[in-house]
Amino acid sequence: MEDSEDNVARRGSVEASIGALAAASKLSPRLRTVNISDLTNEICSESYENGFDVSNLEAIVNLVTVKSELDQTSVATLIKHLFPAGSVPNSVVLTIVGCLGQGQLKPTPSAQALLVRWLSNVYSCMVEPSMLSKVYGVLFGLLDMISLRAALCHLLALITRRRSGVSLKADAEWRTRLVVIQNANLGQVQQHSYSNGFKIKRHMHVKNVPSVVPRVHTLRAFESSVTLEEVDSMEDLIDGLEKIEPPSQLASVVGDSLLHKYLLLKPKEATTNRLELWLARCFDEILEEASYEENKSGAFEKELLEALLVYAKINKTLLPVIEDFLRNLLRERGGTSHIPILLSLLTFLRPQDFGETPAMLRDPGALERLVDFYTVLLRRWTVIRSHDPTSSIVDERIIRELSRHVSTLHVSALASSAAESSVLRYYEQLPSLFRSWDSSSGQAPLLILPPPQTVYLLGFSFALDNLSRICAILATYKVAFEEGIKASVRFPSETTARFNGYLMDFCNLLWRSRAFTTADTNSAGCLCPEALVASLRTYVAAVDPEYSISAMFGLPHNALICALSLKVLQESEDEAAASGMPELARHVGPASQRTLAALTKEGGLTISWKEYRVQVLQWLGRNGIGGIMELMFVTMKDLMK
């Protein structure tokens, strides 16, 4: 939060300085009240440290592309410090092109030359480099200006990809600083140019700093061909598909979605073979201990894993060579420090048998991430199953092994309340999978119940939303059981008895005021030992004889719901008072069957115990907490009517 506030304050200060400089540029030196040199130094210092965002970049460009009262030294300094923090928009490019040439309102020839050279330097980070191709005629017509000729020839050579153009010596220090700023603001750089997947992923790297994944670069390009670097949109890809010259390193497909789209449209078996050979070589280097030590604390490994994740997200699967590498990474070297990336990659594994969880993933700090990983894995397997319900790839045995493996993990993770939401997401996803099983054969569909410990721990959650979600999950299972029974499906008696126990215990807790009882058929008393229940009963009676432990988890008295239940009753009383009962006696505190009956006798609201609780359920449902209502309405016979 502090960093964010500092950034806002810093940007505000720079914008104020730019505004002051723009105002001063219209005044002669004798009329100014500010020091131009100080303002210029402040603006350039900020640009050198953090670069200019789009608004500030446009403001400075608008300032230096017109004739003004600024001295040439200040103008040149501003141009030399135009470090874009993100992509350079078309508006900036066109503004600079429009200021070139001769005219009273044009900047000086030396300033124009610096601006053309700046366009060459930032060509690789423009939002749409092809924009310069559209103004090629304008630029070519300016070649008669001696002051611009050298810089223009270099820029035109970049546009046309000719090698005969004049090559200007690059400012190594300026380019190095631009790389640092661009990489620090990489998210902003990619915001316009990469998010739609129809532009190559542009990286700027300093010389002699190696990159694991080769960048998309076409060395053998012709004037009649189109390179992927020139593709800026879906239309460009479609129009130039037959003329596109493939990049020199096809292994770049691992980290670039545009190249991947191109190869999907023009597939070649040789491409896959080349990619697998290149990956095998990279994996061998990572798995060698000596190579890993030279790897700058795993930077090499991290970049490769991130690239593989991009490839997997597009391809929705992993190549066999990648699966072998991940298996060796976990078994032979004991894992990696990049656990989040690794878990994201593992979610793309094909359905397979489960073995022992690697030691690196059994760390308590990784439990919540591991629970999320299994949820995403289950979701992907559900998609595979839904595409082909008759496929044996995702069979019942594998899903049961997964759930058995995960259930133990869930119980461990629930030692921390922070993991409750992650565990619930898994069981919210599971019904989507068993719906894809065909029950027309009379065989029991895939119904995998959460273990009792998980159900009851979530039932006593400190978060009302989590209580509602576990109730909604049980309601979904109840509907699935009923649909199976209607289809004459026979469920295992053990499964049916255990699930009926869940339903009975939750109804006893929330509706029937019979918490922790084991007298009802199949009820397990929420697995609470009888000795503990007796101690709680004694304690509650000592605090207030009017209360009982069996009723303290019902809707009116439940710690998570009691305030909302009281609000429902008060709203009903307000409505009654507004409809002609101004002297209505008011209920005080949590309601019970006894207090509601007494309220009626005292001239208060007339409402039955059942009617009141139904109103509470409906109010919760209208306000986004509908899980409890769903469970009660599909379980309690008197509510089904």
Sign of the alpha-carbon torsion through 489, 495, 497, 498 = negative
Residue 353 makes CB contacts below 8 A (sequence gap 6+) with: 398, 401
The four Cα atoms 268, 270, 273, 278 give a dihedral, to 10 degrees, of -110
Within this chain, do residues 42 and 167 fall inside the same structural domain, yes or no?
yes
Q: How many angstroms from the chain centroid is the CA of residue 515? A: 41
> In the predicted model, what is the mean pLDDT of residues 581-597?
87
Q: What is the DSSP string of 587-621?
A: P-SS--HHHHHHHHHTTB----HHHHHHHHHHHHH
In this prediction, residue 202 carries a pLDDT of 58
Strand partners, 88: 126
> In the predicted model, what is the mean pLDDT of residues 258-274?
80
Which of 144, 162, 189 is at the close of a domain? 189
Structure confidence by residue, pLDDT tens digits, 41-83: 999 998 898 888 888 899 999 999 998 888 999 999 999 999 9
Residue 484 makes CB contacts below 8 A (sequence gap 6+) with: 439, 444, 445, 447, 491
For residues 308 and 324, what is the distance between their CA atoms, to the nearest angstrom? Answer: 13
> In the predicted model, what is the mean pLDDT of residues 354-382?
70
282-287 long-range contacts (CB < 8 A, ≥24 apart) are 282/212, 283/321, 283/324, 283/325, 283/328, 286/325, 286/329, 287/325, 287/328, 287/329, 287/332, 287/333
Q: How many angstroms from the chain centroid is the CA of residue 385? A: 24
Do 525 and 460 meet the contact criterion of CB atoms below 8 Å apart?
no
In this prediction, residue 631 carries a pLDDT of 96
Do 510 and 475 meet the contact criterion of CB atoms below 8 Å apart?
no
Task: Say whether 84 sits in a helix, a strand or coil.
Answer: strand
Within this chain, do residues 61 and 122 fall inside the same structural domain, yes or no?
yes
In this prediction, residue 2 carries a pLDDT of 41
Do 84 and 43 meet the contact criterion of CB atoms below 8 Å apart?
no
For residues 148 and 128, what is the distance between their CA atoms, to the nearest angstrom? Answer: 23
In this prediction, residue 207 carries a pLDDT of 44
Within this chain, do residues 164 and 228 fall inside the same structural domain, yes or no?
no
Residue 408 has pLDDT above 60, yes or no: yes
For residues 334 and 499, what is the distance between their CA atoms, to the nearest angstrom? Answer: 40
Which residues form the domain of 627?
557-640
pLDDT above 70 covers a percentage of the chain that reads 83
> In the predicted model, what is the mean pLDDT of residues 211-230?
74
Within this chain, do residues 250 and 203 fall inside the same structural domain, yes or no?
yes
In a domain? residue 635: yes
H/E element holding 244? strand 244-245
Residue 93 has pLDDT above 60, yes or no: yes
Q: Which of 47-56, 221-230, 339-348 has the lowest mean pLDDT?
A: 221-230
In this prediction, residue 96 carries a pLDDT of 93
Higher pLDDT, 542 or 203: 542
Within this chain, do residues 575 and 616 fall inside the same structural domain, yes or no?
yes
Residue 630 has pLDDT above 60, yes or no: yes
Structure confidence by residue, pLDDT tens digits, 149-170: 888 998 888 888 665 445 555 5
> In the predicted model, what is the mean pLDDT of residues 434-458?
73
For residues 569 and 585, what is the distance between their CA atoms, to the nearest angstrom? Answer: 12
Looking up tokens 């902003």, which residue turns up? 188
In a domain? residue 136: yes
Within this chain, do residues 140 and 205 fall inside the same structural domain, yes or no?
no
For residues 230 and 200, what is the distance between their CA atoms, to the nearest angstrom? Answer: 9
In a domain? residue 281: no
In a domain? residue 600: yes
Within this chain, do residues 256 and 213 fall inside the same structural domain, yes or no?
yes
Residue 473 has pLDDT above 90, yes or no: yes
Do 526 and 456 meet the contact criterion of CB atoms below 8 Å apart?
yes
Q: Output phi, psi for 576, to 5 deg.
A: -65, -40
In this prediction, residue 527 carries a pLDDT of 93
Percent helix, strand and coil across the chain, each rounded to 5?
A: 65, 0, 35
In 458-521, DSSP assigns E strands to: none
Most confident among 190-204, 398-412, 442-456, 565-579 (mean pLDDT): 565-579
- Of 435, 361, 375, the C-alpha closest to 403 is 375
Within this chain, do residues 169 and 257 fall inside the same structural domain, yes or no?
no
**Any idea what the CATH number is for the domain that residue 143 is in?**
1.25.10
Global pTM value: 0.63
For residues 454 and 430, what is the distance between their CA atoms, to the nearest angstrom? Answer: 15
Q: What is the DSSP string of 317-345?
A: S--HHHHHHHHHHHHTS---S-HHHHHHH
> In the predicted model, what is the mean pLDDT of residues 395-421?
85
Strand partners, 84: 52
Residue 102 has pLDDT above 60, yes or no: yes
- Give the chain's count of helices (H) and strands (E): 30, 2
**How many other C-beta atoms lie within 10 A of the C-beta of residue 353?**
8
In a domain? residue 542: no
Q: What is the mean pLDDT of the chain?
A: 82
For residues 226 and 233, what is the distance between their CA atoms, to the nearest angstrom? Answer: 13
Higher pLDDT, 201 or 475: 475
> In the predicted model, what is the mean pLDDT of residues 343-371?
68
In this prediction, residue 161 carries a pLDDT of 66
In this prediction, residue 294 carries a pLDDT of 47
> In the predicted model, what is the mean pLDDT of residues 355-378?
69
Higher pLDDT, 461 or 310: 461
- Of 176, 178, 256, 250, the C-alpha closest to 208 is 176
In a domain? residue 546: no
> In the predicted model, what is the mean pLDDT of residues 301-315?
81
Which of 267, 302, 330 is at the close of a domain? 267
Query: Where does the pLDDT of residue 197 fall: very low under 50, low under 70, confident under 90, or very high at 90 and above?
Result: low
Residue 397 makes CB contacts below 8 A (sequence gap 6+) with: none
Residue 177 makes CB contacts below 8 A (sequence gap 6+) with: 48, 83
Q: Which of 75-89, 196-210, 475-489 has the lowest mean pLDDT?
A: 196-210
In a domain? residue 102: yes
Within this chain, do residues 73 and 172 fall inside the same structural domain, yes or no?
yes
> In the predicted model, what is the mean pLDDT of residues 372-394?
79
The number of CA neighbours under 13 Å toward the Cβ of 417 is 9
Which of 189, 207, 234 is at the close of a domain? 189
Structure confidence by residue, pLDDT tens digits, 482-534: 888 887 778 888 999 999 999 999 999 999 999 999 998 889 999 999 999 99
Within this chain, do residues 231 and 179 fall inside the same structural domain, yes or no?
no
Higher pLDDT, 23 or 365: 23
In this prediction, residue 544 carries a pLDDT of 86
Looking up tokens 């009617």, which residue turns up? 611
In this prediction, residue 209 carries a pLDDT of 46
H/E element holding 287? helix 269-287
- Of 184, 178, 118, the C-alpha closest to 152 is 118
Residue 331 has pLDDT above 80, yes or no: no
User: Token pair for residue 342?
Assistant: 């690794």
For residues 62 and 92, what is the distance between their CA atoms, to the nearest angstrom? Answer: 8
User: Token pair for residue 33?
Assistant: 């009240």
As a whole number of Å, the end-to-end CA separation of the chain is: 53
Write the single-letter amino acid at 453. Q
Indicate the number of domains in the chain: 3
Query: Where does the pLDDT of residue 439 fall: very low under 50, low under 70, confident under 90, or very high at 90 and above?
Result: very low
Within this chain, do residues 33 and 109 fall inside the same structural domain, yes or no?
yes
The four Cα atoms 504, 506, 507, 510 give a dihedral, to 10 degrees, of 160
In a domain? residue 589: yes
Angle 513-516-520 from CA coordinates, rounded to 5°: 80
Residue 194 has pLDDT above 80, yes or no: no
Do 554 and 597 meet the contact criterion of CB atoms below 8 Å apart?
no
In this prediction, residue 418 carries a pLDDT of 83
Sign of the alpha-carbon torsion through 325, 326, 332, 337 = positive
Residue 330 has pLDDT above 80, yes or no: no
In this prediction, residue 165 carries a pLDDT of 47
Within this chain, do residues 202 and 166 fall inside the same structural domain, yes or no?
no
Tell me whether residue 60 is exposed, middle or buried, using C-beta atoms within 10 angstroms of its C-beta: 0 to 12, 13 to 18, 19 or more. Answer: buried
For residues 351 and 391, what is the distance between their CA atoms, to the nearest angstrom? Answer: 12
Q: Which of 314-328, 355-369, 501-515, 627-641 has the lowest mean pLDDT?
A: 355-369
Residue 192 has pLDDT above 50, yes or no: no
Structure confidence by residue, pLDDT tens digits, 111-159: 999 999 999 888 888 888 878 888 888 999 988 899 998 889 988 888 8
In this prediction, residue 415 carries a pLDDT of 84
> In the predicted model, what is the mean pLDDT of residues 228-245?
79
Query: Where does the pLDDT of residue 395 fall: very low under 50, low under 70, confident under 90, or very high at 90 and above?
Result: confident
Query: Where does the pLDDT of residue 172 fall: very low under 50, low under 70, confident under 90, or very high at 90 and above?
Result: confident
Query: Where does the pLDDT of residue 469 fall: very low under 50, low under 70, confident under 90, or very high at 90 and above?
Result: very high
Q: How far, CA to CA in Å, does 382 sit from each of 396, 431, 438, 501?
A: 12, 10, 14, 28
> In the predicted model, what is the mean pLDDT of residues 370-375?
86
User: Token pair for residue 532?
Assistant: 């503990």
